[in-house]
Structure 1
Amino acid sequence: MHANTSDWLGAFDWLNTQFSLFGLPVYWSDFIGNVLALATVVLALKRWVVAWPVQILGSVFLLIASLNVHLLGNAGRQVIIIVVAGWGWAMWGRNKHDQGEVQVRWASWRMRAVLIAGMLVGTALVTLLLKATNLSFYPGAPWWLVACDAWIFVGTLIAMVAQGRRWVEFWFVWIAVDVVGVPLAVHSGLYFSGIVYGIFFVLVLIGIRDWVKRSRTVEAMS
């Protein structure tokens, strides 16, 4: 039984091997996970419920990639994404069932304040936790590097909660994540992730424009 299990797991060793993409070394797990992550953004822009299971699958591959380069903060982020995506999947499915389509809207000013406070306070607390446990990068990693890891972790969680609530603001949170995510991914050797973060930024701008327009339509019908 043990041998069979080892053989089964060994069949996935190729995910942690690299290939050359535009002259850059890219892990297969990083590549597949980010392709699915890009697909998730496109599907979310279209407000298709299938965006959530695609995101879960992509996060599984990115979890493998993060563990391979010892980026444990980012690995924990993928676990959170998988859990929250299950909740978001249910929320969007319910809204589509009730309204006939997934309807988007702006958050209240109170909830915007909660999102901002959660981003700042959450990043500070997660930074302290990652630093104290040496779970980010390597033992003794500088504070700024750990804080960047924490910022992406917390920002992703907040963005997904806002996305599940169908708030337009979730796109703006992704901008904040991308600004840090691009240089951090490159610094960690996940070059394809850095490229994808850049593509994310363009898609986010498109998403903002589309969801703002659709939110106005919903308000006009209310």
Structure 2
Amino acid sequence: MSPIFDFFFEQYSDYKTYHIVLEIVAVLFGLLSVLFSKQNNILVYPTGMISTAIFVYLLIVWGLIGDMLINVYYFIMSVYGWYVWTRKVDDQHVTPITHTTIKEHKTSIIIFISTLLFVFVVYQLFDKWTSWTAYVDTLTTAVFFVGMWLMAKRKVENWLYWIVGDLISVPLYFYKGFTFTSLQYLLFTFIAIFGYSAWKKSLNKNPQT
């Protein structure tokens, strides 16, 4: 094997083949989900639910409790988001893209702080404060929890949280030894940037009162 290949994928030498296949499938559905989200397409949720369900299983196997909690939350919020995105606000229109209100910003802060405290308690219970990555996991979990909630509410600012969380996750997952997932978050970062731009353009074309 070439040194470059070994650098990126040597950690998979001890993995079971079907775990590698499942990670790739989960990554592909995750990418589809983010692409559908960028397009403001309801398929963001069924594709995302498939991805998160697979990752929940894999992360339990790998013992990554914080990451697993993120994906459980994603799954639950996908059900909620699916409902919100298809809910009729009147006889002809479903929930539109809007800016985050002051009240929702305050709720976002509450979700962020509550998530930090929740993950702290969980990591204490499972004795997971064994590496500096646990502290970064706590931060990204809180960031992603807010991002997912805002996306379910169809708020354009959700992309800003995804961009921050994705940028942190790229080196984090590579350090943990999950190259495919790291590459997924790298692609997520670019898609999130374009998603933010696309949603802003859509909002400017269809301003909400």
Band of TM-score, shorter chain: 0.7 to 0.9
Partner of residue 130 from structure 1, selected from 104, 122, 139? 122
TM (norm. structure 2) is 0.83
* 1:38 paired to 2:28: no
Note the C-alpha offset of 1:32.
Answer: 0.9
Residues paired across the two proteins, number: 197
CA positional deviation for 1:213:
0.8
Could you say which residue in structure 2 is the equivalent of 1:52?
A: 45
* Alignment-mate amino acid for residue 189 of structure 2: F
- Equivalent pair of 1:73/1:153 in contact (CA under 8 Å): yes
Specify the alignment match of 1:88 in structure 2: 81
Whole-Å separation in 1 of the counterparts to 2:66 and 2:94 = 35
SS of the residue aligned with 1:27?
helix
Match of 1:215 in 2: 203
Give 5+ residue unaligned stretches, structure 2.
13-18
Q: Is the 8 A contact 1:80 1:157 kept in 2?
A: yes
Q: Give the Cα separation in 2 of the matches to 1:171 and 1:28.
A: 29
Q: In structure 2, how many angstroms separate the alpha carbons of the residues matched to 1:170 and 1:66?
A: 25
2:20 aligned partner: 27
Q: How do 1:1-222 residues align onto structure 2 when only pairs under 5 Å count? A: 24=9, 25=12, 27-95=20-88, 98-100=91-93, 103-119=96-112, 121-134=113-126, 136=128, 140-142=129-131, 144-219=132-207, 222=209
Can you list the C-alpha shifts for 1:95-154, whole angstroms capped at 9, x where unaligned? 4885446621111234224324532x2353134213311364xxx513x32121122222
Q: Which amino acid in structure 2 is aligned with residue 53 of structure 1?
A: P
Partner of 1:11: none
Query: What amino acid does structure 1 have at the position aligned with 2:69?
Result: G
5+ unaligned residues in a row in structure 1: which ranges? 1-19
Rate the CA distance shift 1:141–1:98 in 2: closer, same or farther, 3 A.
Answer: farther
Structure-2 separation of matches of 1:218 and 1:85 = 25
The verdict on how the C-alpha distance between 1:99 and 1:150 changes in structure 2, with shifts beyond 3 A counting, is: farther
Give me the CA root mean square deviation: 2.5
Identity %: 18
CA distance in 1, matches of 2:69, 2:28: 20
Structure 1 length as normaliser, TM-score? 0.79
